[in-house]
Amino acid sequence: MKKLLSLFLLFVSLPSYAYEIIRDPIFENYFNSFKETNEDLNTVLLVDSNEPNAFVFGNKIYFTTELIKLIEDEDALKSIYYHELGHIKKKHFETRKIKNERNKGKKTLNNIFSIGLGMLVQNADLVIASMLTLDKNLVNDLSRHSIRDEIQADDFMLNKIEKNNLNTNGLINFFKTLPDQKNHYFQSHPRASERINLLKKYSNNNKNKNSITFEWIKAKYSMNSEIEEFNKFFSDLEMGINSEYELSNMIEEPVIKYELYKKGFLVDQIDEIFLNLIEINNSSYLKLEFLNSILDFNLIEYYPTIEKQKHNKQIQKEYFYFFLIGKYYNLIDKVDLANFYFCQFYQLSRSVDKSNYYCKNYDITAVPEIDSSYALFK
């Protein structure tokens, strides 16, 4: 019988003022196809919300699930992405953050994140997807740009629309569906009528076909994809039915199997599923999720993979990196190393009691120099 660990984090309900972040490696990796240079690659994350919105926070772009539901074509999604990327390129967030700290006192990015719901470390989904949240009020404050900033971001977007020959009709239709003043999107963006008039100047008769991945994402989060087989697959999954046989030759098999695994199917193929998907998907979250699954399913033969990936700088940027490595060393009874990594994680998550405990209970001489160099807190 598999040994279970009883380590828990915070057990609190998700506050009404928080955005729940959804980690989806298929969605996140999808935006890699938009980049033109390495500098253009910024993490794009999903936020669970019934408000159609997109915003920048730090160097990350966030889309709400409601926006994904309402967007009718890929060119419209790309255009909104380029608008938000324009904010990053013009460093609007950094400017807004500095002004905010001057006016309201220093409330930094370090405490914008909170962890809701407990993380049972034996559960592959909960350990990483345990409702990492964003403080909604602070997000709204810091993402509400000036008219000048919005014009600059629009200029950046329009340049990309023209350069990539995108059709603006889908984006125009999106703005037409939103109530101009009451909708949350327009609390941080210009009025729909202004945007529509501007976009009409760039309208064309191009009918660019939506990518398969776009249709997959639409089916997953709204079940209104143009590919009915995708809608049926996710509808069946919600009812606990595996209908993967209907998707042959439509989308990569590792993508299908990953979604099935997330719903409790194919758990005996876990190593094959992750290794095959990682071949075509460079998401750091996916790699972290695989490492967690190695521990939860006691795949001892893959422990060297954890030791190797521990030094992966891409994975080190993930929020739960320190917790996961601490969990690994705890499993193999390297207590000092485990407590060192738990110390870093709980300091990062600002859990005072737990950080005090773990940070006082390891021998620094037992921590190799290379591990010590990863410390965020000395």
pLDDT tens digits, one per residue of 136-183: 665 565 555 667 788 888 899 999 999 989 988 888 888 888 765 445
- Block residue for tokens 């994975």: 315
Please compute the mean of the pLDDT values over residues 70-75 and round it to a whole number: 92
What CA–CA distance (Å, rounded) separates 127 from 117?
10
The answer to whether the beta carbons of residues 330 and 143 sit under 8 Å apart is: no
User: What per-residue confidence (pLDDT) applies to 258?
Assistant: 95
| Rounded-to-integer distance, Cα 334 and Cα 258, Å | 32
Q: How confident is the model at residue 38 (pLDDT cuts 50, 70, 90)?
A: low
Picking from 281, 353, 264, 341, the residue whose alpha carbon sits closest to that of residue 306 is 341
Q: Rank 43-47, 126-130, 193-197 by mean pLDDT and report only the highest.
A: 43-47
Q: Tell me how far apart the alpha carbons of residues 224 and 72 are, in angstroms, rounded to a whole number.
A: 9
> Taking every pair of C-alpha atoms in the chain, what is the biggest distance, in angstroms?
67
Distances 179 to 48, 172, 297, 336 between C-alpha atoms, Å: 20, 13, 48, 56
Task: Give ∠ CA 115-219-119 in degrees, rounded to 5.
Answer: 20
**What value does the mean pLDDT of the chain take?**
79
Average pLDDT over residues 94-110: 58
Name the residue among 289, 216, 222, 221 with its Cα closest to residue 250: 216
Q: Which residues, in sequence order, are CB contacts of 267 under 8 Å at separation 6+? A: 261, 297
Distance of alpha carbon 21 from the chain centroid: 6
pLDDT at 93 > cutoff 60: yes
The pTM (predicted TM-score) of the whole model is 0.80
- Residue 191 tokens read as 């009025």
